[in-house]
A and B are shown apart, each in its own frame.
Chain A
Amino acid sequence: MATIALKDIAHSYSGESNKPDDFALKKLNLTWKNGGAYALLGPSGCGKTTLLNIISGLLVPTRGSVIFDDTNVTRLATEQRNIAQIFQFPVIYDTMTVYENLAFPLKNRGHNKNEIKPRVEKLAAMLGLEQNLFDKAQNLTADAKQKISLGRGLIRETVNAILFDEPLTVIDPLLKWQLRSQLKQLHKQFNFTMIYVTHDQTEALTFADEVVVIYDGNVVQVGSPEALFERPEHTFVGYFIGSPGMNIVPCAIEGNRLKVHEHEIALNRSYPDIPASAKLELGLRPEYISLGDDTQAGLPVTIKKIADIGRQKIAKVALGETLLNVIVNEKTEITGEKGRIAIDPTHINIYVDDNRVEGTPL
């Protein structure tokens, strides 16, 4: 168990370079607390797996250092870091039984049989593999195989952290849900540091105490699921988290008046320090817009399309030329083309050149 710190980490697959474009991971600083559950969230190809491989030692970063507690492990080999990693596809040793698979990491580290046996049996029971303990691992289903991979990570009780690289990709949706809650339970039980890479926001938000959102090699936000939802620090986060994502609308601000096209909204904050040349945008969650008929107060919109997604409806409305997504309660009846939207000013986020500005309360 250890606190893991990444100091000024940057990585380029083509070696040291002056061009920022060569870097799959741009300069980043992160600290993972002992026993925490973290998720690395981002679209495919954003550098999540690179970061994971740097922590586990499969990659040596081009710049910066990896520190476990007080030890610099940047150049230490994987096997000396005491890290477990579970990959996207189940990795099992075909010719071994389930028991041998689970015992393998311990055997390699010179533990004796009497010590290995109770631990393997205990773990197999926890993972629900006790029935198959002496079956050949290669004959099992994909989810059982992934449990074996997971088990090989959990069998060493002293691991510094367990890294998950999209481990549930090959699992059926129902089993995925089961495995996920099982994993959560194991985390509570063992209290290992867990770093979980995924591009699935539901997975990240349900799993983690803290989510790290990576976009194009940069960490754009580190925060709790709630913070990511309420106060996305970057327009990408707003857009990426939530379904549908945040509405990002170009706007202008004068004092505490927000201008979108010819419409004005009163703000409860002021933003005095905005440079004139900057790109100014308004971020608005579809959940925080209420759509009503033409008789109500609010900004006039044209209703373009309504999609029923079960418990909610998503309305696509046009405010001037700007299209907005609005989430409407299933029971609300919407008729006609004209409507009005009301916006809750407390849930408005203002972005200057894609980064959120806090503003000062009035």
Chain B
Amino acid sequence: MIKKQTNQKAWFMVLPVFLIVAFSAVLPLMTVVNYSVQDTFGNNQFFWAGMSWFTDLLHSERFHDAFFRQILFSGIILAIEVPLGIIIALAMPKKGWGVPVCLVSMSLPLLIPWNVVGTIWQIFGRVDIGLLGHTLESMGINYNYVLDPFAAWCTVIIMDIWHWTSLVVLLCYAGLCSIPDAYYQAAKIDGASRWSVFRYIQLPKMNRVLLIAVLLRFMDSFMIYTEPFVLTGGGPGNSTTFLSIDLVKLAIGQFDLGPAAAMSLIYFLVILLLSWVFYTAMNNVGQENKGEN
């Protein structure tokens, strides 16, 4: 039997990467950790606060509300964008001049910067000059996202769907295009219904891209900041104050650096945990697919 050779010198090769990561991620993170266990009244004077910011935060109703809003928002947009994305991808043509037309028009929303998207919808939804807001108003529907929390939520959600469904569509479309024709032909020969084709061919073959789509959409929506900030500024009241908006208010608005640092860390850990959950789920599917080649 040949013994596997070990060569510890290789670790030196990793050193540059380690240094870069240290400066770009670890050290800034440690600064936040440093703030999160201290209190400051300015003048660069710090007082030890221990775990109190964490316990305060975890018991604060404001944090609970923002967290709940965040989960609700991510849940709603996933529940809408994923099925909608699949449906659009299924309806898109597979060949001919329609393909580039669809692909380009699908990509357009993805190319617009976040704050511009916010501004577009901010104006679009305004009751006085916006096309959407004015039309709804003149149809007699009571819509005003500045005053009505429900209208604000609807606008934020529709804006996100408008902005990001394309990503799901493009990923699903790529997944669909990679299915060989023989599968559809075999399904015809087996007398499968349209639903069976979707359930037993298209959906299993899209499995992986769908998981990537869900993961990306979840992470992005969980960290959403710019669009709702431009659109509603977190209002009316606190009704669209998501975690990131709340965090910025706490850190920059109120200058409560300690609690804000504690919140950043918890926010970070939640995202890390959920990423891990998704990663494990994806890996499990990957394992199941291993026999296929």
Contacts and interface: CB of A to CB of B under 8 A. Distances in A.
Interface string B155-194: 0000000000000000000000000101101101111110
Contacts, number: 65
Interface residues of A, number: 29
Contacts of B193: 108
Contact of B192 (A53, A83, A87, A108): A108
B191 A85 contact: no
Nearest to A84: B189
A104 B196 CA distance: 10
B291 to A, nearest CB: 3
B contacts with A: majority SS: helix
Interface stretch (A24-32, A92-100, A219-227, A305-313): A92-100
Interface string A71-103: 000000111000111011101011110000000
Interface residues of B, number: 21
B201 interface: yes
A295 interface: no
B191 A79 contact: yes
Nearest to A91: B186
B182 A79 contact: no
A140 B290 CA distance: 10
B205 interface: yes
Interface string B263-293: 0000000000000000000000000111110
B191 A91 contact: no
A139 B288 CA distance: 8
A contacts with B: majority SS: mixed
Contact of B196 (A78, A108, A140): A108
Contacts of A83: 189
B28 interface: no
Contact of B189 (A56, A89, A94, A138): A56
Interface string A295-336: 000000000000000000000000000000000000000000
Contact of A91 (B182, B288, B289): B182
A58 interface: yes
A219 to B, nearest CB: 24
Contacts of A95: 200, 204
